[in-house]
A and B are shown apart, each in its own frame.
Chain A
Amino acid sequence: MAVIEAIETVYLEADAALIEFTSIPQTYEHLQLRISARQAKASESIECTIRLGTGGGAVDTGNNYYSHRINGWGTTENSGGGNALAYWKRLGPIVSGESVDAAQYGSGVIDIVDYANTNKNTTALAISGSALGATYSWIQFGSGLWDNTGAVDRIAIAAADYSNTFVRGTEATLYGLNS
């Protein structure tokens, strides 16, 4: 088996609210998600929101997700996070919105570590950003905790707060990592 294997690539040919990876094999040690995305919302930079699922069912919609971030936009340094939400909000990735040039797509890498272990809650970390815009050009490092020990077999990536759409041309690939 390859050390790093591409599990699935999604390349949107039309706008869509959700990108979902299902039936994720349990044969890897870690997962890595690489994304290049833009959302149809009047913003220069904007976060994606992520939910996880286990046991072959739907993603968890409970307030079981925690996330923190350190970020910079323009000349502002900031950190935030802490409270339980129904999805990872501050992990990232931060991508582009429609207030910047149409060709601009933000990008990021998310690592979901030891995702198949059923004795530990799931954690993730991400670096992402979108370097364009007069005010909200953005770089971010984020963390995520899912209060669930289930093996992750589903990942749903939604546009911000489950209320927007990804623009055509958005791309996401899920990789499995072995030692």
Chain B
Amino acid sequence: MAFPAYIDASTGVLTDGEAWVGIATTTLGSDTASVTFTSTDDGQVGDFSQYMDLVVITYGRTATAVTQDNIWMRFNGDTTNGNYAGQYLEANGSAVTANVEAQPIVGILPANSATANIFGSMVSHLFDVNSGKYKSSVHQSACDTDGSGYVWLHAMTWKNQSPITSVQVISKNAGNLKDGSMISLFGVLPRMVA
């Protein structure tokens, strides 16, 4: 049984150990529709309820038949686009664009029409995930595809006050996440001891 990071396994005493806790990593061995991390709700390291923030790090590519593909991040199985609000700032090598979204887009990754073996990267910070607030997040993604590409900054709000108990990463355009994509979830603890 794995103890939470803030409990000394030998004494049971509350401590401030590593503030970032590796919860899970999924590396795809075959093309897969989506990756979902779900809270274990058991008081162990996989229980989201003990963390202040969550961080998702994605190294990925999709099978959608385009060069770059938009990525969604959805929480608690909520598939209603209108429950999410986004603001982005993107650059594609020649132009900078900003706009709002009414869907859970958080970034952009290379897709099937890009040169083989090119993957993109994305870092997502989800804040105060157990509060009664709407769930606010910021995301950075980098998608360079041999001669074209994008860099994106995204803010997203899930207009729901429930604690986050699951996080899904999925292509907006329904392409599978490609074999070799790797997605890691970290829990970020607050200060535990006064």
Task: Report which A residues bind B (CB closer than 8 A).
Answer: 2-9, 11, 34-36, 70-77, 96, 101, 103-109, 127-132, 137-141, 169, 171, 173, 175
Q: How far is the CB of A7 from chain B (nearest CB, A)?
A: 7
Determine the distance from Cα of A175 to Cα of B21 in the docked complex, in whole angstroms.
14
With A137-B87, A171-B128 as contacts: A128 and B138 at CB distance below 8 Å: yes
| Majority DSSP secondary structure for residues of A touching B | strand
Contact A141 B191 (CB under 8 A): no
Determine the distance from Cα of A77 to Cα of B90 in the docked complex, in whole angstroms.
9
Q: How far is the CB of A172 from chain B (nearest CB, A)?
A: 10
| Majority DSSP secondary structure for residues of B touching A | strand
Q: How far is the CB of B5 from chain A (nearest CB, A)?
A: 9
Q: For chain B residues 1-54, which have a beta carbon within 8 Å of chain A?
A: 16-20, 52-53
**Contact partners of B191 in chain A: CB under 8 A:** 6-9, 173
Q: How far is the CB of A168 from chain B (nearest CB, A)?
A: 11
Which of A70, A74, A101, A127 makes the CB contact (< 8 A) with B159?
A: A101
Interface size on B, residues (CB 8 A): 41
Contact A107 B136 (CB under 8 A): yes
**Contact partners of B136 in chain A: CB under 8 A:** 36, 96, 104-107, 129-131
**Contact partners of B100 in chain A: CB under 8 A:** 74-75, 131, 137
Determine the distance from Cα of A132 to Cα of B89 in the docked complex, in whole angstroms.
15
Which of B16, B18, B99, B155 makes the CB contact (< 8 A) with A138?
A: B155
**Contact partners of A2 in chain B: CB under 8 A:** 16-19
Determine the distance from Cα of A140 to Cα of B20 in the docked complex, in whole angstroms.
24
Contact B85 A169 (CB under 8 A): no
Contact A6 B87 (CB under 8 A): no
Contact B99 A130 (CB under 8 A): no
Q: How far is the CB of A10 from chain B (nearest CB, A)?
A: 9
Contact A107 B189 (CB under 8 A): no
**Is the CB of B168 closer than 8 A to any CB of chain A?**
no
18 residue pairs A–B, Cβ–Cβ below 8 Å:
A2-B16, A6-B189, A34-B52, A36-B128, A36-B136, A72-B98, A77-B89, A77-B97, A103-B159, A105-B127, A105-B128, A105-B131, A107-B136, A109-B125, A131-B86, A131-B154, A137-B85, A137-B100
